[in-house]
Amino acid sequence: MKSATIKQLKMELQDRSPKEIMDLCLRLSRFKKENKELLTYLLFEFSDEQMYIESVKAEIDERFELVNKKSPYFIKKSIRTILNHTNKYIRYSQNKETEIELLIYFCQKLKVFSPPIHRNKKVLNIYNRVIESCKKKTSLLHEDLQYDYTRLLEDL
């Protein structure tokens, strides 16, 4: 089965009643956890972005506490998982400021992580890639925000 384009979906949804659209959304949420999470964000957390950022930061904290420190391989794997989850939450928001703030927070947590990241070259590379990504994305923001985030990045 070939999936329809966004334009085709939009045209079809315009012809549907609100109840039908609600039923479609609920049915869609049953199939994948990410669909359900995105609907949760759009319905409950979209209006208060700061609360959303704080809840994601709390989840990042929890995940860092659960990192398996038995070997460098498990450390790298756990950190990649944390970064992937962070990027998933960033995709839900689609807000550049939220993206930079969450990535900077991830880097701050990684910087104070024990064992130190400079002992593990692969983890250090992850850290450096995220920092470079933040620097590029910061340049796209308003000047005042650029200044604030650049100062935070310099501290890292």
Do 40 and 58 lie in a common domain? no
Task: Give the Cα separation of 34 and 19 in Å (integer).
Answer: 23
Do 128 and 55 lie in a common domain? yes
Do 101 and 41 lie in a common domain? no
Do 38 and 84 lie in a common domain? no
Do 16 and 65 lie in a common domain? no
Do 18 and 62 lie in a common domain? no
1 located within any domain: no
pTM of the model: 0.83
Q: pLDDT tens-digit profile of 7-66? A: 887 888 888 888 888 888 888 878 888 888 888 888 888 888 899 999 999 999 999 999
Do 79 and 103 lie in a common domain? yes
Looking at residue 67, what DSSP letter applies?
-
Q: Which domain covers residue 76, as residue numbers?
A: 49-155
- Count up the domains in the chain and report the number: 2
Task: Give the Cα separation of 90 and 40 in Å (integer).
Answer: 14
Do 118 and 128 lie in a common domain? yes
The candidate with the shortest Cα–Cα distance to 103, out of 121, 90, 117, is 90
Do 43 and 54 lie in a common domain? no
Q: How confident is the model at residue 156 (pLDDT cuts 50, 70, 90)?
A: low
Computed over its alpha carbons, how large is the radius of gyration of the chain?
A: 19
Do 127 and 54 lie in a common domain? yes
Cis peptide preceding 116, ω within 30 of 0: no
Q: pLDDT tens-digit profile of 127-149? A: 889 888 888 888 777 777 677 77
